[in-house]
């Protein structure tokens, strides 16, 4: 599994809390002052609620547009991310530039899931891309990947406007991912038959042989809607970049 449920309070919960506090503040404002002591207590109550309203509103803005915490529920990114690690994800950065190769990204995948996935960006739009004998080859150059748990036990090629995979131990023929199972844009959206299409990214988990990623469900996208696959026509994009492991304290580091 690779899903990324949010950790702690979600934006919807914060928005609900903010609404409740605003309503309560309005009720207290409309309450008639019957006695001096009651007036003072009502006034103090209104003043006491105001800081919570401001805090809830600020927290909602932060979680919606700037940063949010997530925890890791699976081992698909081992050894970089351990199960139950808690991350801070920057939701603001990709408003200014596209993801870079090597970024650890939270995003909605092109398959049905209630939560986002987290993977590493390995292939960018316009790249040639292949996996041969456990080595990722990007733009004709073998990649050095010290962060992976083990080399992938499959071969892969992007060619003929598609993604092809095989198990080199047992398969001599290549299997093409189908549009029904994977996000593979139609030919008209490719700039070349052997290059990753525009706005598409090849995502992989660092725990290569225990990761449901682009070799199974095709390309992630930075915008638009998924072209094919189980979520064809649904919104695509990147939620944000993982920047810090902050819990447990012993795992703290900048990513």
Dist CA 131 CA 109 (whole Å): 21
74 falls within a domain: no
Q: What is the pLDDT of residues 84-126, one digit of tens each?
A: 998 888 888 898 899 999 999 999 999 999 889 999 999 999 9
In DSSP notation, 189-211 reads: G-SSTTSPPTTEEEEE-SSGGG-
Residue 76 designated active-site: yes
Read off the pTM: 0.77
- Whether 122 and 45 map to the same domain: the answer is no
Q: Which of 113, 123, 233, 228 is nearest to 182 (CA)?
A: 228
166 forms beta bridges with 155
142 falls within a domain: yes
- Whether 56 and 102 map to the same domain: the answer is no
Mean pLDDT across 188-194: 97
Q: Are 210 and 119 in contact (CB under 8 A)?
A: no
- Whether 17 and 115 map to the same domain: the answer is no
250 falls within a domain: no
Which one has a higher pLDDT value, 29 or 221?
Answer: 221
251 falls within a domain: no
188 falls within a domain: yes
| Domain finish residue from 65, 84, 113 | 65
Structure tokens given for 16 = 């609900």
Mean pLDDT over the full length of the chain: 82
Least confidently predicted of 7-11, 90-94, 215-219: 7-11
Dist CA 225 CA 197 (whole Å): 14
Residue 172 designated active-site: no
Dist CA 205 CA 149 (whole Å): 9
Enclosing domain of residue 215: 97-240
List 2, 119, 211, 214, catalytic entry = 119
- Whether 138 and 218 map to the same domain: the answer is yes
In DSSP notation, 50-65 reads: HHHHHHHHHHHHHHHH
- Whether 224 and 120 map to the same domain: the answer is yes
Element (H, E) at 19: helix 11-30
- Whether 32 and 109 map to the same domain: the answer is no
Number of domains the chain contains = 2
pLDDT at 172: 86
45 falls within a domain: yes
CATH code for position 139:
2.10.109.10
- Whether 27 and 138 map to the same domain: the answer is no
- Whether 198 and 105 map to the same domain: the answer is yes
Element (H, E) at 47: helix 36-65
List 2, 74, 76, 214, catalytic entry = 76
123 falls within a domain: yes
- Whether 131 and 183 map to the same domain: the answer is yes
SS (H, E, C) 66-107: CEEEEECCCCCCCCCCCCCCEEEEECCHHHCCCCCCCCEEEE
Q: What is the pLDDT of residues 119-147, one digit of tens each?
A: 999 999 999 999 999 999 999 999 999 99
- Whether 135 and 11 map to the same domain: the answer is no
Dist CA 121 CA 231 (whole Å): 20
- Whether 233 and 114 map to the same domain: the answer is yes
Q: Are 24 and 76 in contact (CB under 8 A)?
A: no
- Kindly tell me if the per-residue pLDDT of 79 is higher than 60: yes
176 falls within a domain: yes
- Whether 44 and 110 map to the same domain: the answer is no
pLDDT at 92: 83
């Amino acid at each position: 599994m690779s899903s990324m449920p949010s950790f702690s309070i979600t934006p919807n919960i914060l928005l609900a809390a903010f609404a409740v506090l605003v309503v309560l503040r309005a009720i207290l404002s409309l309450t008639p002052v019957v006695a001096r002591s009651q007036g003072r207590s009502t006034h103090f109550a209104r003043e006491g609620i105001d800081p919570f309203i401001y805090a809830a509103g600020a927290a909602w803005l932060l979680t919606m547009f700037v940063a949010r915490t997530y925890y890791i529920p699976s081992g698909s990114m081992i050894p970089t991310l351990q199960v139950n690690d808690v991350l801070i994800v920057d939701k603001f950065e990709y408003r200014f530039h596209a993801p870079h190769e090597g970024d650890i990204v939270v995003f909605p995948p092109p398959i049905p899931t209630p939560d986002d996935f987290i993977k590493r960006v390995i292939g960018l739009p316009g790249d040639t891309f292949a996996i041969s004998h456990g080595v990722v080859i990007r733009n004709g150059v073998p990649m050095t990947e010290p962060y992976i748990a083990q080399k992938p036990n499959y071969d892969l090629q992007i060619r003929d406007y598609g993604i092809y995979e095989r198990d080199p131990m047992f398969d001599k023929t290549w299997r093409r991912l189908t549009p029904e199972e994977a996000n593979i844009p139609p030919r008209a959206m490719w700039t070349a038959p052997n290059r990753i299409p525009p706005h598409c990214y090849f995502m992989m988990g660092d725990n290569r042989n225990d990761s449901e990623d682009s070799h199974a469900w095709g390309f992630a996208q930075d915008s638009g809607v998924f072209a094919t696959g189980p979520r064809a026509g649904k919104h695509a994009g990147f939620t944000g970049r993982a920047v810090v492991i902050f819990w447990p304290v012993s795992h703290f580091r900048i990513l």
